[in-house]
Structure 1
Amino acid sequence: MEYEAVRSIACRWTTTLTLIVFLATKNARATCPSRCVCNSEDVVDCSDSGIADVPTNIPSTATTIDLSYNSISGLKKDDFENASNWQSLDLSNNKISEIGNGTFEVFENLQFMNLSSNTIQGIPQETFAGLNGLKTLDLSFNPAMTLIEGALQIMPSLTSISLSGCPTARSYKFSDIGTLQHLLLTQCEIHTLQPDNFRYLGELVLLDLSDNKITDFPSETIGELRKLEVLHMDRNDVDLSKGKLLSQFSAITNLTLDENEIRSIHQETLHDMRQLQQLSLVDNKLRSLPESMFNGIPVTGSIDLDLAGNPLNCDCNLRWMTSWIRDNNVDDVVCDAPYAVQYKQLRSLKADELACVPWEVPGQHIYHAVEGDDVTMICPLYTDEYTVVTWSTDCGEVVEIPSTIPFTPPYSIDENHSLVISKVTKSLCETYICEAQTSAGSLSTELTLNIKTASNDLHGVVVA
């Protein structure tokens, strides 16, 4: 009997609890604003619902509110009387042009707010008063917005700001936002960065300056950002041909410079970026890279390099990269020229396939000697270990050297591809031809040997 009584009481309690939960759920759903979706106690989704005002009956338990893609035109303090528990608020893609004084004073716990893609006109200094816990603020793509100095500094916990698409960012002084870690300033029509606007940002680790009009790398400004690790400067017009980007040690680990029309890179451009781990140069106009450009980065195997979309000329000037890309994390580098290696991956080519057409270098073309002397004629063409050098002489008919030439003394070629003639005589030919050949092509040049008859006062003297 006692067991049955206990069981009966337990059943009644279970039924009661079920009813309580049901009624609570029903009540929560009942208070969900019209046109909105409340899938849980803390998330209210009113996005793209055609509303023109902030709903007033949002459940008090809600923490995440999405009001994006509507027709809300203004914000005032009365709109948020019961919003003290809100942590995330999305008001992007509305028609907000004005924000009343004290609008955000109730937001004690708000950490994220998105006001992007509206028509906000002005942000007075006290607009964001009360947002003491706000960490992320997105004001991007409010093109007519003006920011009064100090308007952002009023939020003591701010770690991330986006002002992309807001020309007002060009002149705003971000200095003294000591908690700031991420700053997005894309599409702001920035030509130059004023160092004074970026001082005392001691915690900034990411800066995005993509899609602006910057031509000179902002060395002084970046040099002040001692903890900056990620710098994006895609789609500007940055020149990397002038020398070092930075004059002092940098903490940058990730640098992107995609689509900057970069045609050449100075050999010292990256020196002092000793922490660099990722470098993206996608879709530029690079045909070659200097061999010493990574000398300032101490650890081999630490670079993730992306060169996709560059018209690389895979000749002898890129031979050094075949081994380098095997030691580092490099995306597939595809050759654009010369024709023999076009569309091939650089890592797949052998050293002798990465060849240059030989070219003339400063050197001697006319030699003077006395009979009986030894003469060494240096080929004035650029050669390397993959170049085949041949000599010939023209005494009415070109004859390859060395060969069965019916002349004395003998000819030989030394390890430097120079032609050595022992004990010259007047019977030797005057014209000699040096030809250098690689897989990319060949070039030849003529040298002249003038031989004088030996005499007591000239014997043993070579006049060059």
Structure 2
Amino acid sequence: MTCDDSCCQDEVETSASAAVESDRHDISKVDDRCFDDGNMSSRTEHTQLKMHRRMPLTTLLLVLILAAGVLAGSEAAFCPNGCDCDDETLVVSCINAKLDVIPIALNPSIQRIVLRENQIKIVDAAFQFYGDLRNVDLSFNHLVTIPDRSFDAQKQLVELHLKQNKISAVTDKTFFGLQSLTVLNLRSNYLETLTNGLFASLEKLEELDLGRNRISNVEPGAFQKLGSLRVLYLDDNQLQSIPSAALAPLNALAELHVGLNAFSSLPDDAFKGLERLAVLDITAAGLDNVSDDAFRGLGALKSLKLNANKLREVPTRQLSALTRLEELTLGQNFFTSVRSGAFRGLANLKKLEISGATLLGTIKRGAFSDNGNLETLVLSNNKRLSVLEDGALAGLPNLRHLMLRDNDFASFSEPLVAWNELRRLDLSENPVFCDCGVMWLADVLAPRNSSPVICAEPKELQGKPLRGMRPDELGCAFSDPRKQALLATLCAAGVAFFVGAVFVLYYRCKRRVRDAFKDYEWKNRTISRKEHEYQKTFSEDEYVVRAAHAAAAAGHHHHHHHHQQHNNNSHLNNHLNNPHSSLHLHQQQQQQQQQHHITSGVKPIPVTEL
């Protein structure tokens, strides 16, 4: 016996009412006579009712509503209120739609379903209807548990997002059947332990996010069979040490995030086996000690974040093993200075950031001497950083981005860096003293669209931007390039005129100057010779010979001076008789001879010629 569609609909509704009253009624007792070969859609709905005979009451009611709609002749899929269902792109989006269950009346061919920000508390068998799903997002719901094999029908599922729920435990069967899954996001849940083989069924998994849970224990085999895993987040948990044994099998891992845990140190070979690791994030992990060989084996590492730890100095020795490192973040540590050669061995370093280091005061000369490929340097928000020693930024020909924002610099040195070659420059929020010494900086800032440099002192310029400030405002004299050129020209002309005048005067008075020098030298020699003659003491024989020669030279005056000669002879005899009066007699004789020569015009004969 058969019945028409109305008969079948009435009987289904009657059976549904009975099922609601008992909450576990066996819907399979509906008479199969209501479904003949000509009414396959009704048979399909009846089969689905059988599959959900143990569903919660609300889910069962939804199934019955769907069945009623289909039996009424509706061929369109049911789209709940607050949802957006696109049958062309096969995407269903139900964001903040106040759903408390997963809809089961959607298009069976959908490939992506987004159920974010609802009140869904459990993953039931609803997903069994959607075997073509590629992407499922159940983030920001109230999921507490996920029954085993809940995704058994999702053989093609690629991404599963369960972020921000209340999931406290999963088993090795929770994700059974997800053989194509590449992304699993369990961030911000309540997981505490990762047991051995927990993700063994996810052999194609490439990204696993377990961050911001309560994980304190990772068993050595927790990541077994994850040979394709490339990205792993274990940050913001309660780990006391790096789970080195569990990480060792992940030989394809490229990114590891383990910051915001409670590490106190990194032991030697902490990341053994991770030869392909390119990104390592250990931000805010409480590190105060890094062993010399902590990073041994990380020959492919390109990015390292060690900021917000308790390091008291740059770990130069430890970092030198990372020869391919290109990006390094070291801010919010306890450095007081960055010493010369602090980043020795990091020849490929391109970006360095040291921000928020509250104790950092000085960057030493040659701090980046080994980092010739550095392109970006960020030294920001270091409240005590006031000294960049001359040569601190020397040897950086490729530097193009310089961020010195919010430090304690009162001025900047013009030779510090090739300012005009920088593509990006930020010197804002520094207590700059604006005077003529920073006039060059105003010129550098003029063509740039960068954060303004505000004058902190002197008082009359406080709060004013340095860029565009006139030279006279900065107290500069002759700072105008045209005035400087004019002044330089005048100075050069003055010097040239002075030198020319000196040469002209020299050539004009050359003979006079030479004669004056000669007269001066001759007089000096004459005076010296006369002093030598007059100061010489003669013996008695020398005096007699000299007197006789003088008398012969002046023979025609013999009679005139006869009496004088007689007196001289008398004095000579007295001298011979009285040796003590010889000196006095000698002096008188010299005076008489000089007077005689003067009156007679005869030049005295030097003693040396006699």
SS at match of 2:184: strand
Matches of 1:322 and 1:273, distance apart in 2: 16
- Quick one: structure 1 residues 233 and 212, their matched pair in 2 at CA, closer, same or farther if it must change by over 3 Å? same
SS at match of 1:268: helix
Q: Which runs of 5 or more residues in structure 2 are unaligned? A: 1-73, 389-406, 417-610
Deviation at 1:295, TM superposition (A): 2.8
SS at match of 2:256: strand
Matches of 2:410 and 2:321, distance apart in 1: 30
2:203 corresponds to which of 156, 176, 183: 156
In the TM superposition, 1:337-352 aligns within 5 A as 337=384, 343-344=408-409, 348=413
Q: Between 152-161 and 141-150, report the one with greater CA deviation.
A: 141-150
Matches of 2:109 and 2:273, distance apart in 1: 44
Does 2:273 align with 1:208? no
SS at match of 2:188: coil
Tell me what 2:317 maps to: 268
Q: Which runs of 5 or more residues in structure 1 are unaligned? A: 1-26, 352-464
AA in 2 matched with 1:243: D
- Quick one: structure 1 residues 350 and 284, their matched pair in 2 at CA, closer, same or farther if it must change by over 3 Å? farther
Q: Between 304-313 and 195-204, report the one with greater CA deviation.
A: 304-313
Describe the superposition over 1:327-363 as per-residue Cα deviations: whole angstroms up to 9, x where unpaired: 5123243575576776239985757xxxxxxxxxxxx
The answer to whether the 8 Å contact 2:271/2:298 transfers is: no
Does 2:366 align with 1:320? yes
- Quick one: structure 1 residues 195 and 326, their matched pair in 2 at CA, closer, same or farther if it must change by over 3 Å? closer
Tell me what 1:111 maps to: 158
Count of aligned pairs: 320
- Quick one: structure 1 residues 322 and 81, their matched pair in 2 at CA, closer, same or farther if it must change by over 3 Å? closer
1:50 corresponds to which of 91, 94, 98: 98
- Quick one: structure 1 residues 241 and 127, their matched pair in 2 at CA, closer, same or farther if it must change by over 3 Å? closer
Deviation at 1:143, TM superposition (A): 1.4
Matches of 1:104 and 1:48, distance apart in 2: 23
- Quick one: structure 1 residues 118 and 338, their matched pair in 2 at CA, closer, same or farther if it must change by over 3 Å? closer
Deviation at 1:30, TM superposition (A): 5.3
Matches of 2:338 and 2:387, distance apart in 1: 20
Describe the superposition over 1:209-229 as per-residue Cα deviations: whole angstroms up to 9, x where unpaired: 111111212542313211111
In the TM superposition, 1:45-444 aligns within 5 A as 45-76=93-124, 78-144=125-191, 146-168=193-215, 170-172=217-219, 173-240=222-289, 243-248=292-297, 250-299=299-348, 302-310=349-357, 311-314=359-362, 318-321=364-367, 327-333=373-379, 337=384, 343-344=408-409, 348=413
Matches of 1:251 and 1:152, distance apart in 2: 26
AA in 2 matched with 1:127: T
AA in 2 matched with 1:344: F
The answer to whether the 8 Å contact 2:123/2:150 transfers is: yes
Deviation at 1:79, TM superposition (A): 1.1
Percent of matched pairs sharing the same residue: 22
Deviation at 1:117, TM superposition (A): 1.6
Matches of 1:100 and 1:241, distance apart in 2: 43
Report the TM-score, using the length of structure 1 for normalisation.
Answer: 0.63
Matches of 1:160 and 1:279, distance apart in 2: 23
SS at match of 2:352: strand
Q: Between 246-255 and 67-76, report the one with greater CA deviation.
A: 246-255
* Greater share of residues in helix: 2
Matches of 2:410 and 2:129, distance apart in 1: 62
Q: Between 218-227 and 267-276, report the one with greater CA deviation.
A: 218-227
The answer to whether the 8 Å contact 1:305/1:330 transfers is: yes
AA in 1 matched with 2:272: G
Deviation at 1:287, TM superposition (A): 2.1
Matches of 1:204 and 1:33, distance apart in 2: 41
SS at match of 2:160: strand
- Quick one: structure 1 residues 257 and 348, their matched pair in 2 at CA, closer, same or farther if it must change by over 3 Å? farther
- Quick one: structure 1 residues 145 and 42, their matched pair in 2 at CA, closer, same or farther if it must change by over 3 Å? farther
